[in-house]
Structure 1
C-alpha cells in the first residue's frame, strides 16, 4: 500500500518521537532532549537520545538513528507499511482510501484469506478425527508435542480426491476461489478439479502479519513424491518472499537480537518447541532478495543451518552469491553445517536441544564460507593459478554494493590471499625458517644452527677463501643484513680491496684488525693442530675441499646470497602483515606484492638448488682428491 507524503507527515506531527520510543525505552529529559538506555543492545550508561523538535532519535552505541517509522521497524521487525498502519492507529488517524483497483484487489485477497482459514480448520478437524490416526502417529514419532500441533495449527488432508473441495463447497466457497487459493489442481486437460493435498500432514504457512497464505504438506507414505509439497504461487502466496514462522519469531528474535533459519518447517517446529523461539524456515528454497531482507528485519546477523552433505554445502554456497551484493554495514549472515548429515529435528530428538545449541555456537561468518568455497581443494602453487584465484575472489567482492563493506572485503581478501600464498610458498613439510633448496640440504653442514645464521658464516668464509670474488659480489652482499659483529667484519674486508687489488687469503689474515680475529676463526678457521687454514668453512661446505671449478664456486655464492635475500623478504612480509592487521591499506597491497616476490624467489631458489645439486654430483663423481691435487675418479 502506498501512502501520500502528507499522510506520513500528519502521523509524524501527531506522535512525538519520545511518545513512540517511550513505550519501549525509559526516557529522562536532558535539556531539550531525552536520554535512555539503548533498545538495540545492553548497556549501563545511557547513549540513546531523542529529540522531539527534530523528530529524530540516535543511538550512539550502535550508530542507529531515524524517525518514528524507523524505530518501529527496527524494534518490532515490521515492514514500512505495517509501521505506518500501527502508528496511524496509535495517532487515531484512519488510513487513506486506496484506488478502486486497490480496493478490489484487497477485497479479493481478503476472500482468499478466508478460504485458507476454512481449509485450515478442516485439516485440523481431520487430524483430530479417526481419519487422522496415522498422521497423529507420525507426529508422535517425530516428537511433535500436542501444544505445538495446536499452536502451529497442524492438520491432515485425507487421501480422498474431492474431500476438501466438497467441504469448502458446503461452506459456499466457489470452485474458482479454491483454484485461485491453490487448494485444487485444475487445467484445460483436467475435466474435474481435485484436491491438491491428499494424505499429507498439513502445516499452515503465514505471511509476516500472521495471515494464513499457504500450506506445506508432508506425505505420509514413503513412496509418494514429492515428500514435501507447498502451495503454488497465488495472489496471496509468493514462496520467494515468505519465511515460515516469521510472525511468531519476530518478537523473540528482537529480544534475543538473533534468529536461526532452518531449511524445513518440521525443523522449525522442532526447534521452536524446545525453547528456541527465534527460528524460521526458508522451506527449501534458494535465498531470494526478499527473504534475505526479511531475515535482516529479524536480526542483523541471522544464523542459517545447512546439511553438511554435498547438497547442503552447495546450497550454502549458492546462498553466499545471493547475499553478497546485498551486504551492508551491520547486516550479514552466519552459517552452520549440521554434523553427521542430521537435520536439526533429528539432532534434537537424539541428543537434546543443548547439542543443537552447541552446533549453533560454532557458526561461521559469511566470509569464512566464501573463502572455504574458493580455496578448498585448489592448487595455488603456481603464479598463474594464484592469479586466477585472486581474480575470481576479487570479482565476487566487486558484487558487494555497499562501499564500506566492499572495501573491508577487499582488504580481507588481499590479507588472506597473501597469507595463503605465503604458506603455499613455504610448503607444508618444510621448516618455516628455511628456504627450500635441495643443494643447501644436501651439501651444507649447518644443522646445529638455523639456516640464515649458517649461510651468513658460509658466505663470509667463502669471501675470505676466494678474495677474487670480493669485488664481483660486493653490491649483492652489501644489500644483505648481517649481525653487527659480521657487518663490521664485512666492511673492513671490502676496505682491503681499496689498498690491495690482488688480495690473498694470507693478506686477509694478516691485514685485518685483531678485533676481527675471532670472526675470522668462526667463519674461516686458522691453520693449526693438524688442520688446514679454512677448516671451519670446509666443515660447513665440504665440497670446497675438492677444489671445485671457479664458476661453480661463484654460482654457489650467488645461490646463498639469494637465499639470504629471501629471508629478508620474509622479515618484510612479517612486518607488512602486522601493519596490514592494523588496517593500513597500503600495507595490505605491499604485503601481497611481497608475497608474490617471495614466491617467485622461492621458485627460483628451488630450481637453482636442483641444478647446483646435479652439478655437485658431477664434481664428486668426476673429481677425486689424491695427494693434494684433483684427479679423475675411477
Structure 2
C-alpha cells in the first residue's frame, strides 16, 4: 500500500489535532495553543502542549512529540495503518488501494505541482514582456503597487489558444489537461483554458501552486469576469481558501481572519495593511472551509457587500455554520456600505474605515435574527408564526445541545419582544385598557381604584366586627383568617386579637368580643346585612363566611396577576392569556365585594315577610 507524503499531508491537514487529543486527555486553552498534564508521564503542572496551526503536540517534560498519526500510535497504541485508516475515515478520505496504480497516482499529483509551478513562472514572465502591457496597465489603474504584484504573483495569460502548450513543451499534453491548464473537448484539439487574463496563483497552506484564478481584461460576450481552475487532483475549491498560507501567520498577530468575496479584495486589504484576509473560490463558504478557518481563529469575520447578493451570501454562511457550532467557535459578520466592496472602501476611505467596521462586526445570532426578522413584513398573526417557525427551523439544525438550547431561548425572547411589544396598563392596574402611557396619575381610573380599596377596607372592618359578634365563627375560619393575616400585615393585629380572645368566651351564647378602640375603623352597620339588627343569624354566618373568603382570595389574585405580568417579556402569549383570565376573576371579586359593601343595600326583611325600603342596587360600586 503506497501512502505518499502528499497524501499523508492532506490527511493531517483535514484533522484538527486538538479534537483528537481531547477524546482521551483534558485540554485547557492557553493562548493559541492547548495545554494539559502530559498523558505520557506523571506530572502535577501542565507541560504538554498541542498546537493546531502547526499540527503537532510536544511535552517539555518528557519530550514526547508528534503529529496526529503519532498520537494514535503512541497514545492509543494502534498500528500505523490502523491509525491511518481511522483518521482517513474521519476525514472522508480513501486510503490508496494496495496496487501499483495508487503509487503512480501519488507520483502524478506530485508531478502536477511541477506543472503548475512552471505555468506560474511563465505567466509572471509574460506579464513583464511587451505582451503583458495591458495587464500591467490594469494593475496600475487599480492602484496595486509593484511590491504587491510580486508578493501575490500576478501574471498574464496571452490571448492565443496554444501559447501555454508551446511554453511548457517539457510536459505531456495529458499533464497540462490534468492540471486544469488545458481544456479537452471531444472532436476538437485541446486549447489553453486561460486566455487574455490577468492571472493569480492559488496556493495551498504550504505555499505550493495548486491552481489559478484569471480576471478578464476586456469584456467579451459570454466570458465570465473571473475564471478559476477546475477541480483537479491538486485543487479542490470547496477545501481551499485563497491566501490562507499568508493570512494564517498574520492572524496569530491580529487574532482574526477576514473572509471577503474576491481575490482583489484580499489584495486591496493586504496593501492597506490588513494581511489576514482570505477568499473562497467563487462559491459560498463551505463546511470544510469553516472548519479550516477554525483551526486558526475561533471566530472568523465574514465581510460581504451591503447589497442583496451580499446578504444572501451571509445567510448562506449562517446556514452552513449552524450545524457545526461548538463552544467558543462561531462566525461574525460585517455589512459594508451598499455599493462598496472592501477594495473600494479602503481606497476611498482608508484602513481606519475598514477597521471600524471590523470592530463593529455582528454576531452570527444577530445576523440570523436580523435577516429573518426583515425577510417578511409582520402584518398578520400568520406572518409572525412564519417568523417563529423559520427561527426554530434554524435552531433545530444546531448539533451541539447546549448551544441549541441557548439559541432557542435567545431567539424566542427576541421574537416575543418584537412580535408582542410590552404595553403598560392604563388606569392604575384595573386591567380594562392597554396603552403605552406610563402616567396614570389622574382621571376616573384612579378614582375607581380608590373606591375599590375603600370598599375592601370597609368590608374588612365589617367582617372583623361581625366575627366579634359571632366568635364561634373565628375557630371555624381559623385557617383562612391565619392566611389573611400572613398575606395582609395590616389585618394581622385585629385577627390576632380575635383568635386570642375566643377561648375565654362562652360559645353557647356566642357572647360578643369587645374590640378595643382603634383596632379597626368603626363600620357603617347599615351597609352590611350581617351587622344590621334583625338579620337572620344563619344568613349572617353565611355572609361572614363569604366575606372571609373574599378577603383571603383577593390578595392571592393580585399576586397571581403580578406574576403573570412579570412573565410578559419572556412569554407574552401565555402571560397575556393568564392576565385576561385573572382580570375577569378579579372584576368578578370586586363586584362581589362591592355588592356586599353597597351603600344602597336594602335593610333585612323582617321575619313576617313584609318589605321595608327599596330593593338594593349596586351599579355605581361594582368593580
Structure 1 and Structure 2 fold alike (TM over 0.5): yes
Q: SS at 2:310's partner residue?
A: helix
Partner of 2:183: 185
In structure 2, C-alpha distance between the alignment counterparts of 1:278 and 1:348, rounded to whole Å:
15
How many positions carry a matched residue from both structures? 492
Post-superposition Cα deviations, 1:509-557, rounded to whole Å, max 9, x if no partner, equal xx9974666xx9xxx9x9xxxxxx9xxxxxxxxxxxxxxxxxxxxxxxx
Structure 1 position 201, deviation (Å): 1.0
Q: SS at 2:295's partner residue?
A: helix
Higher Cα Rg, which structure: 2
Post-superposition Cα deviations, 1:58-110, rounded to whole Å, max 9, x if no partner, equal 869x99799995438xxxxx9957999xxxxxxxxxx9x99633321122112
Structure 1 position 51, deviation (Å): 3.7
Correspondent of 2:343 among 342, 345, 363? 345
Q: SS at 2:174's partner residue?
A: helix
Partner of 1:417: 412
Correspondent of 2:403 among 402, 405, 408? 408
Structure 1 position 421, deviation (Å): 1.5
Please tell me whether residue 447 in structure 1 is matched to residue 433 in structure 2: no
Q: Tell me if the contact between 1:435 and 1:566 (Cα under 8 Å) persists in the aligned partners.
A: no
In structure 2, C-alpha distance between the alignment counterparts of 1:131 and 1:300, rounded to whole Å:
45
The structure whose residues are more often helix, as a share, is 1
Please tell me whether residue 199 in structure 1 is matched to residue 196 in structure 2: yes
In structure 2, C-alpha distance between the alignment counterparts of 1:420 and 1:567, rounded to whole Å:
23
Q: SS at 1:71's partner residue?
A: strand
Equivalence map 1:76-475=2 (5 Å): 100-168=100-168, 171-188=169-186, 190-223=187-220, 225-376=223-374, 389-402=387-400, 406-418=401-413, 420-422=415-417, 424-425=419-420, 427=421, 439=433, 446-448=440-442, 457-461=450-454, 463=456
Q: SS at 1:125's partner residue?
A: helix
In structure 2, C-alpha distance between the alignment counterparts of 1:222 and 1:37, rounded to whole Å:
51
Q: TM-score, normalised by structure 1?
A: 0.62
In structure 1, C-alpha distance between the alignment counterparts of 2:216 and 2:70, rounded to whole Å:
35
In structure 2, C-alpha distance between the alignment counterparts of 1:102 and 1:120, rounded to whole Å:
27
- Using the TM superposition, name which of 317-326 and 158-167 deviates more: 158-167
Equivalence map 1:20-99=2 (5 Å): 38-40=30-32, 51=38, 53-54=40-41, 70-71=56-57
Partner of 1:44: none
In structure 2, C-alpha distance between the alignment counterparts of 1:384 and 1:332, rounded to whole Å:
32
| Gapped regions of structure 1 (runs ≥ 5) | 9-35, 42-46, 73-77, 85-94, 471-477, 496-510, 527-532, 534-557, 575-590, 609-628
Q: SS at 2:189's partner residue?
A: strand
Cα distance change of structure 1 residues 562 and 386 upon mapping to structure 2, 3 Å threshold: farther
Cα distance change of structure 1 residues 108 and 205 upon mapping to structure 2, 3 Å threshold: same
Cα distance change of structure 1 residues 595 and 428 upon mapping to structure 2, 3 Å threshold: closer
Structure 1 position 436, deviation (Å): 10
In structure 2, C-alpha distance between the alignment counterparts of 1:317 and 1:450, rounded to whole Å:
52
Cα distance change of structure 1 residues 186 and 65 upon mapping to structure 2, 3 Å threshold: closer
Q: SS at 2:200's partner residue?
A: strand
Cα distance change of structure 1 residues 279 and 487 upon mapping to structure 2, 3 Å threshold: farther
Cα distance change of structure 1 residues 423 and 296 upon mapping to structure 2, 3 Å threshold: closer
Q: Tell me if the contact between 2:124 and 2:155 (Cα under 8 Å) persists in the aligned partners.
A: yes
